[in-house]
Chain A
């Protein structure tokens, strides 16, 4: 039972263009969503988050959009840079799970020069 889904295993984007990573969820009790970035052989690092009471959060080149009615969120990276090449994980939490994070399978983003 996958509560958080990242349906695209990989995504290739030209440097300078916009990267859009998508994430769908099924549990309407999720109250907070987070994006993590992971380089090979390293631990994931926190990137950006959004509360379920908001529909947009922006931090520099990174913007996360939340569409609660569609149970969908997306991460936009503008402009994309070579250092953005990594695996991006979407995660969600609910108080019901003692604040544990439920993780998507990840999307590998490749930025082409």
Chain B
């Protein structure tokens, strides 16, 4: 069966520090991968998606970046965090070429920038 792992679950980082969140998927090949952010009291905002290794599409311009070094690994990074980067970050995957059954989400990372 397919599983998605996302870590860490909670992170407190000072303003200006770097960020690296990792997401891995097991039990499937060639997935579409996504990074979402849910700010407090708001909906899901798509940050990045990837349809293959090294292929990253950005939906929102900001100081975050994403990379996909391996087929089932998706990394969200920042060189210098801002206070506004605080939020709940979610990784998700879907079958490439089809969202028939939607996305499967990881358990999320609560990031607090102080």
Residues on A lying within 8 angstroms of B by beta carbon are: 6, 32, 34, 36, 41-46, 49, 89, 91, 93, 98-101, 103-106
Contacts and interface: CB of A to CB of B under 8 A. Distances in A.
Interface string B92-107: 1010011111111111
Interface residues of B, number: 25
A44 B92 CA distance: 10
Contact of B99 (A45, A99, A105): A99
A92 B46 CA distance: 14
B34 to A, nearest CB: 8
Given A41-B110, A105-B43, A100 B104 contact: no
B99 A43 contact: no
A42 B107 contact: yes
Interface string B25-61: 0000000100000000011101001010000000000
Question: Of residues B32, B101, B103, B108, which shows the largest number of chain A Cβ atoms within 10 Å of its Cβ?
Answer: B103
Contact of A43 (B90, B98, B100): B90
A20 to B, nearest CB: 19
Contacts of A6: 43
B7 interface: no
A15 to B, nearest CB: 25
B102 A91 contact: yes
Contacts of A93: 99
